[in-house]
Structure 1
Amino acid sequence: MPIELVRVDHRLVHGQVTMGWSRAVGADVLLVVSDRVAASPFDISLMEMAVPTGARLVVWSVEQASQAASDGTWPDGKVLMLVANPVDLARVVAAGLELSEVNIGGVRSEGARHKLTKEVHATDEEILAWKTLADHGIRLSVQWLPAQKRKLLNDEIAKR
Structure 2
Amino acid sequence: MSIVDIRIDDRLIHGQVSNFWIPHLGVQKVLIIDDMIVHDNLRKTALKFGCPPSVSLTILSPKIAAEKLLRHADRGARVLILANSPQQLEALLKSGYPFTDITIGNLSNRPNTIPIKKTVYVNQEEIHSLIYLAKKGVRLFAQMVPGEAKLDFTDTILTLGKE
Instruction: Tell me if TM exceeds 0.5.
Output: yes
Q: Distance in 1 between matches of 2:108 and 2:45?
A: 23
Q: Distance in 2 between matches of 1:111 and 1:67?
A: 35
Give the aligned length. Answer: 159
- Displacement of 1:68: 2.9
Deviates more, 1:140-149 or 1:104-113: 104-113
Among the aligned pairs, what percent are the same residue? 25
Q: Distance in 1 between matches of 2:73 and 2:115?
A: 33
Equivalences for 1:1-160 in 2 at 5 Å? 1-69=1-69, 71-76=70-75, 77-108=77-108, 111-160=111-160
Q: Distance in 2 between matches of 1:57 and 1:49?
A: 10
Q: Which amino acid in 2 is paired with 1:105?
A: G
- Displacement of 1:32: 0.8
TM-score by length of 1: 0.90
**SS at 1:146 equivalent:** coil
- Displacement of 1:114: 2.5
Q: Retained in 2: the 8 A contact 1:21–1:146?
A: yes
TM-score by length of 2: 0.88
1:94-133, Cα deviation, whole Å (9 max, x unpaired) = 2222222111111138554322222111121211110111
1:114-154, Cα deviation, whole Å (9 max, x unpaired) = 22222111121211110111112222110000111111121
Q: Retained in 1: the 8 A contact 2:110–2:121?
A: no
- Displacement of 1:73: 4.1
Q: Retained in 2: the 8 A contact 1:33–1:61?
A: yes
Cα RMSD over matched residues? 1.8
Q: Distance in 2 between matches of 1:111 and 1:66?
A: 31
Q: Which amino acid in 2 is paired with 1:75?
A: D
**SS at 2:36 equivalent:** helix
**SS at 2:57 equivalent:** strand
Q: Which runs of 5+ in 1 are unaligned?
A: none
Q: Retained in 2: the 8 A contact 1:2–1:74?
A: no
Q: Distance in 2 between matches of 1:127 and 1:94?
A: 17
Q: Distance in 2 between matches of 1:20 and 1:74?
A: 26
Q: Distance in 2 between matches of 1:92 and 1:81?
A: 11
